[in-house]
Structures are given as structure tokens and as C-alpha cells.
Amino acid sequence: MPHYAYARSDKKDAPRISIGVRLVADLLVTAGADRILTMTLHSPQVHGFFSVPVDHLHALRELAGHFKQYDLANTVVVSPDLGNAKAAAAFARLLGVTVAAGAKQRFSDDHVTISAIIGDVPAAISLCSMTRSPEAAR
């Protein structure tokens, strides 16, 4: 499964809201899946919504290998929010560069503001915004 679109629906943030990730996990198992192979899930707890084994792959080492061919002297890996700072820090370690993260505030579904950048980013080039999925940009 190259993209698990419902992985962001992994918590109840309001009353009477279903957890979509669990519903889709159950549908896949009911349809006959006995193992799930996926790439770059939104968060590690998504594994817990499946009743079958989940193999979670990512490509950080391959991406780091690609970027290491460039001069990374003034480079910072930037996470768009604190929720993905751990993955951004792992990527930065692989590259031997520093890391920064945005302090994100969500005012509504379509109004998000990054109020501050946490980390040292003077005159640096942002190598990569470590977003988890296309929905993470919302």
C-alpha cells in the first residue's frame, strides 16, 4: 500500500467522530488481507489499528544517500511541525546537518500558521520539509 490516506484519522478530536484509520484497517482485513506492507505512515501508532502484521517501510536512508552527493555546508532539515521533528532529526543525523521545526498553530481545518521556527537557521538552505503525507500540508 504506497499511501494509506486514512492514517491521519488516528485519534478522536471531537465527540461522535469515528476513527477512520481503524475502519479502513478492518475493511482491508475483511477483504482478505493477512499482512500489510506500507510506506511512510503518518505516525507509528497506526500499526495498532490493524489485527494483522504491518510492515512499515520508509526511504530516509535512500534519500540521505542521494542528498549526500551535494555540498550540505549551509543546510538545515526542516520539519513543518513538532509532531514530525523526530523523523526530521533522524534524517538530519544521516546527513550530518542541523535540524529545525516549525511551531504550528491550527485555527481551523484550512487555516494553519507557523508562529515560530525552533532551531538555528541563520542564512541556511532548507533542504527538505519533512512532511508525512499530502494531507499534512493542510
Query: Residue 6, CB half-sphere, CA atoms under 13 Å: how many?
Result: 15
Beta-carbon contacts of 62 under 8 Å, excluding residues fewer than 6 positions away, are none
Which of 12, 68, 86, 104 is flagged as catalytic? Answer: 104
Report which of 41, 114, 45, 40 is spatially closest to residue 78, judged by C-alpha positions: 114
**Any catalytic annotation for residue 104?**
yes
Question: Catalytic positions, please?
Answer: 104
